[in-house]
Amino acid sequence: MSINIIIQITIFLSILLLTVKPLGIYMARIYEGKPAGLNVLLAPVERWIYRLTRVNPMQGMSWKTYAVAVMLFNVLGIISVYILQRFQYFLPLNPMSMPKVAPDLAFNTAMSFATNTNWQSYGGETTLSYFTQMLGLTVQNFVSAATGIAVLIAVIRGFIQKQIDTIGNFWVDLVRSVLYILLPLSVILSLVLVSQGVVQTFTPSAKAELLQSIRDTDGKTVTEQVIALGPVASQIAIKELGTNGGGFFNVNSSHPFENPTPLSNLLELLAILLISAGLCYTFGYMVRDRRQGWAILTAMLIIFIPCLLICVHSEQKGNPAFNDLNIDQNVSAFQPGGNMEGKEARFGIVNSALWATAATAASNGSVNSMHDSYMPLGGLIPMWLIQLGEVIFGGVGSGLYGMFAFVIVAVFISGLMIGRTPEYLGKKIEIYEMKMSALILFIPHMCVLIGTAVAVVLPEAKAAVLNPGPHSLSEILYAFSSAGNNNGSAFAGLSSNNFFYNIALGLAMFFSRYWLIIPMLAIAGSLSKKKIIPVSQGTIPTHTPLFIVFLVMIVLIVGALTFFPVLALGPIVEHLMLRGV
């Protein structure tokens, strides 16, 4: 591996880790109601919002009430985004006169953005009006991300409270997540992105005369090119910070109007992991044991870094099929070498692979290269990171509370192995918490495997695949992995804008989001009612290197045992075939 690759990866990880502590402390102080810098400016706005909505910020909620509030709010979001798409032709800010969206596609898109998945079965610049992009999608980018953070904070309260029936107030957690965290960071990032060339305008698409006319697929003469514009920067900032991923343009962050320069690429890439990494420290700060937050972050990095290196190596090594053709794939002063198919020349292999692994680890569906064009092992890494349950950083909030389910399993198993009572942060881990954790781990896997199994036998589903052989299975598997774990990125090569995929993927997004939130809140409610047990000689330390390694193995074993058979039929066998095995 070249020194250039090592330098780029080191710079990225170093900047990311330097932000963890200050951002983590800031977020913790926000949720604890302590001064954090912006309170002077935004606290009056927060109080005004509560008065306007008649919310009593001092009133706590039981876990069931909290869950009902989450579901009602998100269902209303799904309905509103669906209606906006169906009536967008009659609404303002539609300079290109975009027609209404088909019912099944509108259903899929509404589910996608409300669940923080941001899977896109459409081309944004040719399907949605500016009004729908802003009021529908961008708003959901904020509130879906805020929902994930709010649920995480409720779970953390379950660990730190003792013998209390409430876990906080959803409306307060939601407002604070948007007002103090997501909105300020998005404003700053969007302004910087505009300075780099990301467009932000309400003007209609521009037109440019072609130097030479061409004919389209219908045989008509085309004399001008339509250059799509729109309010892009405001959506891109929150799409990255909120681990959403839904791009304004069809090709997402590989489009020069979404991601024009190496600096914009670095900033957007950092934004993908920024809040998720910071929340690990927020957790440690709030439970008054910062070692716990560092332990979980370390476990994430232990999985993330090797996956990143494998992906980079696979792409940099190139395509073995080219060796017999005497095609030079070595790095030189004249070429980047390796597999450059589907990648932007301005980013190269390292930044493309880094984005692919970071986005799929963080439940962010954005791309700056096409995963379908990766080598088999290079494409396997993003897919497998999704299949681990989006807990390696994961979505903002959702990644960390998903990791808590693995922590509970690890604590329970380790306790049984050595004959000690399973405890975590002074709370006994009992059968109820294990049942809820099992649901959290099982539901996404069920959505992925059942959806894939149905798709590979239905003629209309198989007809949507554009590539034969094992690669076609990889495309279908990736689609359901992405939807079933609320990632949203696509392997491409799959014509998913049809009735089957729109409905099936939409349902997978819904179940894998809310059927995880409810049992997670149930765990929070159960833990909040328990008393805190003092540390004793029988307590298993959960911040040590030994426990970190054990947690990593639990995450890997669950992912490997569940998906290895189907991965063996897809990217693994494709890798062997490519090398003539």
pLDDT given for residue 420 in this prediction: 79
d(CA 264, CA 236): 11
Summarised one tens digit per residue, pLDDT across range 7-32 is: 999 999 999 999 999 999 999 999 99
What is the C-alpha R_g of the chain? 23
Summarised one tens digit per residue, pLDDT across range 461-491 is: 999 998 888 999 999 999 999 999 999 998 8
Distance (Å) of CA 355 to CA 130, 198, 232, 361, 434: 27, 18, 20, 10, 34
The angle, 0 to 180 degrees and rounded to 10, between the axes of the packed helices 139-160 and 63-86 is 170
Pairwise pLDDT comparison (439 vs 538), residue with the higher score: 439
Query: What confidence category does residue 1 fall into, taking pLDDT thresholds of 50, 70 and 90?
Result: low
Q: What is the DSSP annotation of 395-422?
A: STTHHHHHHHHHHHHHHHHHHHHHT---
Mean pLDDT of the chain: 93
d(CA 81, CA 132): 8
User: Under a CB-based contact definition with an 8 Å cutoff, are residues 201 and 181 in contact?
Assistant: no
d(CA 543, CA 317): 38
pLDDT given for residue 323 in this prediction: 80
Q: What is the DSSP annotation of 356-386?
A: HHHHHHTT----SB-GGGS-HHHHHHHHHHH
CA angle in degrees (0–180, nearest 5) for 463-469-472 = 50
Question: How many CA atoms does the CB half-sphere of 42 hold within 13 Å?
Answer: 18
The encoded tokens of residue 559 equal: 């992912």
d(CA 243, CA 397): 10
pLDDT given for residue 563 in this prediction: 93
Summarised one tens digit per residue, pLDDT across range 249-296 is: 999 999 999 999 999 999 999 999 999 999 999 999 999 999 999 999
Q: What is the DSSP annotation of 265-333?
A: HHHHHHHHHHHHHHHHHHHHHHTT-HHHHHHHHHHHHHHHHHHHHHHHHHHHH--GGGGGGT---S--S
Tell me: pLDDT of 531 over 70: yes
Pairing mode of beta strands 221-227, 206-215: antiparallel
pTM attached to this predicted model: 0.95
Query: What confidence category does residue 506 fall into, taking pLDDT thresholds of 50, 70 and 90?
Result: very high
Query: What confidence category does residue 415 fall into, taking pLDDT thresholds of 50, 70 and 90?
Result: confident
Summarised one tens digit per residue, pLDDT across range 552-565 is: 999 999 877 889 99
d(CA 313, CA 336): 13
Q: Which residues contact 429 (CB under 8 A, 6 or more apart)?
A: 408, 411, 412, 415, 422, 423
Beta-bridge mates of residue 207: 226
Beta-bridge mates of residue 126: none
User: Under a CB-based contact definition with an 8 Å cutoff, are residues 560 and 380 in contact?
Assistant: no
Query: What confidence category does residue 4 fall into, taking pLDDT thresholds of 50, 70 and 90?
Result: confident
Q: Which domain holds residue 499?
A: 3-578
Query: What confidence category does residue 540 fall into, taking pLDDT thresholds of 50, 70 and 90?
Result: confident
d(CA 317, CA 67): 48
d(CA 424, CA 406): 12
Q: What domain count does the chain have?
A: 1
d(CA 517, CA 523): 10
Tell me: pLDDT of 535 over 90: no
Tell me: pLDDT of 410 over 90: yes
Q: Which residues contact 169 (CB under 8 A, 6 or more apart)?
A: 55, 56, 57, 59, 60, 61, 66
pLDDT given for residue 134 in this prediction: 95
The encoded tokens of residue 111 equal: 């589910």
**What is the sign of the dihedral through the CA atoms of 380, 385, 389 and 390?**
negative
Q: What b/e sequence results for 56-80 when a residue is b if at least 16 CB atoms lie within 10 Å of its CB, and e otherwise?
A: eeeebbbbebbbebbeebbeebbeb
d(CA 509, CA 516): 11
Tell me: pLDDT of 581 over 70: no
Once rounded to an integer, what is the mean pLDDT over residues 354-363? 95
Distance (Å) of CA 486 to CA 176, 311, 349, 379: 23, 22, 26, 18
Query: What confidence category does residue 101 fall into, taking pLDDT thresholds of 50, 70 and 90?
Result: very high
Tell me: pLDDT of 6 over 80: yes
Summarised one tens digit per residue, pLDDT across range 200-244 is: 999 999 999 998 988 887 888 998 999 999 999 999 999 999 999
d(CA 110, CA 81): 5
d(CA 549, CA 81): 43
Long-range contacts of 48-53 (CB under 8 A, 24+ apart): 49/175, 49/179, 50/171, 50/172, 50/175, 53/171
The encoded tokens of residue 166 equal: 């409430």
